[in-house]
Amino acid sequence: MFVRLEQRRKPALPWATITLIAICMVVFAALTLLPPDARTSMLRRWGTIPSSLFDATTPLTAHWLLLHPARLFTTLFIHVGWLHLIGNLLFLMIFGLPAERSLGSLRFLLLFLVGGALANLAGALTLANANAPLVGSSGAVSAIVGAYFALFPRARLGLVLPLGLFLEFVRVPAAALIGFWIGLQFLFTFVGPAFGAVAWWTHIAGFGIGIAFALVSRPAIARRLRE
């Protein structure tokens, strides 16, 4: 008797997530090696400065020559501290790997870049007069979290919780954790100044963009999985 063995396709390497993490780490390392004045200059050169982006007195051609719109993208790879970097990259790794396998690497990369830029634009609109640069991949990572939420609404995530003297591993619904997180973002839009200069609306906009992107992409995902 012969048994037919079907060859299972090996999962593709999530190169987009790995590449994005590597770029963010390299940029952060390069910034830390610069003198303070040069580091500040780089942050202002490549970060999104709302007051410059929405300066009506600057001609449109000058905006493009000064790369103001491009900074909505370049700022995605700039972080100003270890906690800022590690927090974003941890979220990107947890939610990005399964999202990339489902969306496909190119579509995932498109979501990170375009979704992150649009989220930064939304955040800059809420701080239109701010002269300090907005930096970080939080908007893009929030878009990835939104896509994950739409693609895997019933997924469960593992957490290690301290219970007395012991650490307990538990699995909780991802939707509950993500719901709690997005609820905090809305709360911080009202009390945010007490928690530092963070563009909370960037996170909210990115999350919504990610959900919409995943829902629109479902037919393409189904076709790709069939193939």
Q: Is residue 1 part of a domain?
A: no
Q: Is residue 3 part of a domain?
A: no
pLDDT(194) > 50:
no
pLDDT digits (tens, 9 = 90+) for 121-147: 999 888 888 888 889 999 999 999 999
Name the domain count of the chain. 1
Q: Is residue 5 part of a domain?
A: no
Residue pair 79/46 in contact (Cβ under 8 Å)? The answer is no
CATH number at 214 reads 1.20.1540.10
- Residue 75 belongs to domain spanning: 15-226
Q: Is residue 222 part of a domain?
A: yes
* Cα–Cα distance, 107 to 102 (Å, whole number): 10
pLDDT(201) > 80:
yes
Q: Is residue 7 part of a domain?
A: no
pLDDT digits (tens, 9 = 90+) for 40-77: 999 998 998 888 888 777 776 766 666 778 999 999 99
Residue pair 196/109 in contact (Cβ under 8 Å)? The answer is no
pLDDT(15) > 80:
yes
- Around 148, how many Cα atoms within 13 Å sit in the side-chain half-sphere? 28
Q: Is residue 193 part of a domain?
A: yes
Q: Is residue 42 part of a domain?
A: yes
Q: Is residue 46 part of a domain?
A: yes
Residue with tokens 């993208």: 73
